[in-house]
Structures are given as structure tokens and as C-alpha cells.
A = this chain, B = another copy of it.
Amino acid sequence: MDEEREKMQEEELREIIDASDSKRLSEYFDNQEPVDFAQTVSLIEDEDELRHLLSILDDDELASLMEESEDRMRLRIARLLNDRRLLVAFEYMQKDDIVDMLGDFPIGRRKKVINLMKADDRRVIQKLLDYPEDSAGGLMTTEYIALKETLSIEKALKKIQEIGPRTEVIETIYVIDDRRRLVGCVDLRVLLSEPKDTLLGNIMEENPITVYPETDQEETAQIVSKYDLMSLPVVSRTNQILGIITVDDIIDVIVDEYDADMLQMAGVSGEESLDTTLGESIRFRLPWLLVNLATAFLASFVVKMFQSTIEQVVALSAIMTIISGMGGNAGSQTMSILVRQLAQGEITLKRGLKAFRKEMELSIINGSVNGFVTGVIVVFMYHNFYLGIITLAAMIGNMIVSGIFGFLVPIILHRLKADPAVASSIFVTTATDVLGFFIFLGLAKLFLPVLI
């Protein structure tokens, strides 16, 4: 159904473009959410058709289209516009969106466009561009309301009427002293309900939560999420307000980080999607496979070490993959708990030790149950009691290995400032494969006389 509606929207848009009907286009634009319009436009693959569309869009509609489009689409649009038209559209856009777009421009075009801006805008944009894209400074916008603490509510309300329409958030008014230092914030509800001659300084909440522009975006998102904020001010080291971050940008950060984590855990770049070209996909995925190949060979060498044992008891070759595989699964379980906990904050030593002890107990219990089931089946399949005992022992041993590595690898990577979500799995599975084979085949070699 959704797909059908999308198709109809697309067809109508193409009709409008063919007819060069600017008025009907405006109606079409007004009749839907900007982000849906941008989505339909992104279906236009022909550059000439897109250029034609842009030429019949009003400036504010063009600005909205650019704000709501994906990065790749924004660049396509920018390439089809001359500098003058681009600057006119920028007038209707939030500063943080302009900066996002310029950040993706080729350096030459970026400089050219910035140089054509009004001096005021140029200074602000230039400054915002200096912050890394994934920092609080890169997320913030300069469209907020900051009023002096000595202002009365009556005057404040007048100011808000003036500035309000150009800001992103209106519910929180930031209060500054005469050196632009952030001293508090006022909820608009309070402003509306107090006597008109009260001074902002008297009704503000002091010491609002802030971040520095260089704060990482993940940490910023955690703060917004923990304190349920609608907006978060960004301040300099001397506590001057530089901008604010709004909650909608924070949602984007959380969703992006989530997607990137999911993909990177599986050895895929966070940038890959279903539509990535073959060449890019190879570049993204092949290196990870080659790293895995190296670790697979490590495990393979261990098996080769015990070749003479396997030659004498060939059943070992069928059982060993169960031991190593189960270790890998148990290790992933422990690891995922640790990764989640680390994402939520540090783990205290006391709490960590208690949890580690529990993991060890769990490893022995889970290893015993799985080892017992496997051992019994092995005894029946291969008619050798001792093979079953060795299987049980090896399963417990490898589960302990998986518990230790699943617990410690994420903590060590976190301490080394690496992302445990991304890198843990390769170390844990290498350990459970290599040591799993080693424990099982080693035990088999030791007790070879009773196995033959």
C-alpha cells in the first residue's frame, strides 16, 4: 500500500515537472510533509529532470528540500544550482543544516560560497565549520533565545515575539549575564505565569546542564537521554553560550550510532546500504573477511598440530566443531552484556568482580549441561565412554574460556579507547576457536590409549 502511494506521488511529481507548472508544484508541496516531498524527489534519477524541478521550485521550498534530503541528494542538488540561487535558499535554512551541507562540498566550491555570504553569516558559518561533524559543536545551531538576566518578563516576551520565529526551540529561554555567560534558563511556562515586571534573573533555574563544543556526539546524546532534555546549550570554557543542540538532532545521532554499531559488529562499514555499488561493497567487506581468514588459520593450525591424534580417532573431527562453536556462542552472550553495560557507563571494580564471579559459575553450569547432553550423544554415537567424558570436560573448559574472554575483551578494549561493540567479537571468537580446539584435542591426545 505504502509502495503504491509512493508511486502515485512520484507520477504526479513527474507530470508537474513536464508541465513546468510552478503553481501546481507549490500546492503539491504544501499538501505533504517536507520530508515526504524530499523522499519523492530523491526518486528522480535523471539530472536534467531534477534541474528542471529545481528551477520551478520557490526559494523557501528549495531550502526545505535541501534541509530534508539525504547527504548524497543534497550534493546532487547543490551541483545543479549556481552560487547565487544557493545563497538565496540558505537564507531560509537553519545554520546547522547549512554547515552540514557545506561540510560535504568540495573544498573549492565551499570557499567560494562562503566568501559570497554576508560578513555576519560568514563568521558564524566559518566558526561552526571548524568543529568536527561528530562533536557537540558540529551538531549545534546558533538559532536560540538568550536574554539578559536583568530583563523583565514583559520585555522578554516582546523579544521572544521578535526572535521566536527564527529559533529552533522556544520552550526554554537561556539567561545570560552582561558578558554573555550562561547563568540559567527559564521555562516558557514559568515566564507566562509570573507577574510581568519580574526579572528573568529572579525566576531562572541556575546551573543548567551544558556541554563543550568538543564533547563527542555519543556522550552528548547520553546526556540528553539521561536528563530528558529538549535542548542542550553548548558553552565555551569560560561558560559563554555558543549554541544549542536540539533533541531531533540527538535522535538522529542515536539512530545512526545504532545502525553503525550493528553493521560494524558484523564487519560491515556503517556507510554501507542495500544500494551501495559492488566496488564499494568489496572495499567495505573484503578487508574484514581477510582479517577473519587470518584468525581462522590460527585455529586451523591448532587442528593440524593434532593431526596424528585425529588420524587415529577420526570421530574427533566431527565433535571438535561442536566444542568450538558452542564456546563462540556462549562468549557472544557474555560479551554483549558487557558491551551494553560499558555503553551505559563505567563498571565499578566491586560490581565488576561480583559479576565476573557469576559469569564463571554460569560458565561451569552452562558448560556442564551442554557438555553432558553432548557427551551422552557422543557415547551413543561412537560407543566410547571416555570420548564422552573428554567431550564433557572440554565443553566446560571452553565455556570458561568464553566467559573469561567475553568478559575481559570488552573491558580491555574500552580501556584502550577502542569501541568494544565493533572489535570484541573477533578476539572472543578467535580465543574460543583456538582454545576450544586445543583443549578438546589436547585432552584426546592425553587419553589416546583409552580412545582407540
Contact = CB atoms under 8 A, between A and B. Distances in A.
A81 interface: no
How many of these chains are in the complex? 2
A263 to B, nearest CB: 5
Nearest to A190: B165
A35 B262 contact: no
B33 A273 contact: no
B325 A314 contact: no
Contacts of A373: 290, 293
B164 A289 contact: no
A286 interface: yes
Contact of A251 (B224, B292, B333): B224
Contacts of A341: 273-274
Interface in A336-389: 336-341, 345-348, 351-352, 355, 358, 361-362, 365-366, 369-370, 373-374, 377, 381
Nearest to A304: B318
A388 to B, nearest CB: 14
A293 B366 contact: no
A248 B317 CA distance: 54
A258 B281 CA distance: 25
Contacts of A8: none
Given A272-B337, A285-B330, A304-B381, 18 more contacts: A3-B348, A33-B227, A161-B193, A165-B193, A228-B251, A251-B254, A254-B258, A268-B336, A273-B341, A274-B351, A274-B352, A282-B365, A285-B333, A289-B330, A296-B325, A300-B322, A301-B318, A307-B314
